[in-house]
Structures are given as structure tokens and as C-alpha cells.
Amino acid sequence: MLARITVYWPGEGQLRACSNGARLRNGHCAVDPKRIPYGSHVVFPDLECVAVDSGPGVVNRTAARACARTAAQHDAIVIDRFFESKQAALSWSAAHPQFMSVRVLPPQGPHHIADTITPDGTVRPHAARNAPATAKKPTRNGPAREAALPKFDDRKVELHLPLDSYLRSVERT
């Protein structure tokens, strides 16, 4: 799928996505949720990102329509890739083309997301997508053990939107 890739970084201490309150990290991107569902993996040539954010420029495809030279570029989706610093974002943007083909892998549930996020917050490529599935063989000590990360319990997770702007306006009145 052809996409116009733009970059963004935290502004004035912002670390959370405006659309859903998720904490932004390298390996996250903003998409149009009507075309790419949240939790989907967007595979770039150098990294696999998770779709966690959105914005009006992404939904309206402003960047694709503004700099398109062909009909395919004009119709391309926009993906806004997050970087933790302005310098890293601009460096990546200068080294890569504005339009590129990306692959979108559908979300596979909360257990899959917990297994692909590393402890430092980066996204680990999922081996099961690229390699054929192999059955785990039980060992003498019992069934095969799961590696590294604990299981994700979706009953314990809550997403909260930042209320700072609302609270500040209440304090002023």
C-alpha cells in the first residue's frame, strides 16, 4: 500500500497521543483509524510500528494531496511516524522518500501486543508472521515455558485521557 510518510515528535512535554491517551514511544505511528485500525502493525523498510494515534492531517490526507505528483500519490494514505526527538524525526525524514510502500498487518489482540512491546518500549518484530508456525514440544519438566514478558491482562488496563487542560480551565474560573 502506498503511503505518504510524515514525522512528528513531542511538543512542550507532550508524551501522550491526543486521540486516545496512549503514551507515545519510538515505534508508534498515527493513522486514519477508518483505514488502518488501532493496534495494527505498519511495516516500514526499517521498523515495524504500531498504530496508536490519529490526527486531522492524517485523516484528511493533507500531506499526500499537497505534494503528490501522480494520481497514485494523490490517493495515498498518510501515516505520521512518531520519534522521541525533533532531530531524530527530521534526520529520518531527510534520509527516506516522502512516499513509500508499507505493509499493514491487522491487530491480533491484547496478548499479541504485550508480546511485541519490549521492556524499553520499542516494538519487537513478531517472528510468527515471517516464519512458519512450529508446535512447542513439552519438556520433561512440564509444558514449554513462555519467554520474557508476562501475560497481558486486559481487565487491569485502563486508558485515561489527559485532563490537564480541562482541570486548568476549571482552576481559572
CA distance 24 to 162: 13
In a domain, 132, yes or no: no
In a domain, 173, yes or no: no
In a domain, 14, yes or no: yes
The CB density around residue 23, as the number of other CB atoms within 10 Å, is 11
Average pLDDT rounded to a whole number, residues 6-35: 80
CA distance 19 to 50: 15
- 16: amino acid identity, one letter: R
Torsion sign, CA atoms 111, 115, 116, 120:
positive
Q: Which domain holds residue 72?
A: 2-126+159-167
pLDDT digits (tens, 9 = 90+) for 83-125: 988 899 999 999 999 999 999 998 875 545 555 555 565 555 5
Residue 123 pLDDT: 59
pLDDT digits (tens, 9 = 90+) for 136-172: 444 455 454 444 555 655 555 554 445 444 444 445 4
In a domain, 99, yes or no: yes
Question: For the domain that residue 103 is a member of, what is the CATH number?
Answer: 2.40.40
pLDDT digits (tens, 9 = 90+) for 49-80: 999 888 888 888 988 888 888 999 999 999 99
In a domain, 76, yes or no: yes
Count up the domains in the chain and report the number. Answer: 1
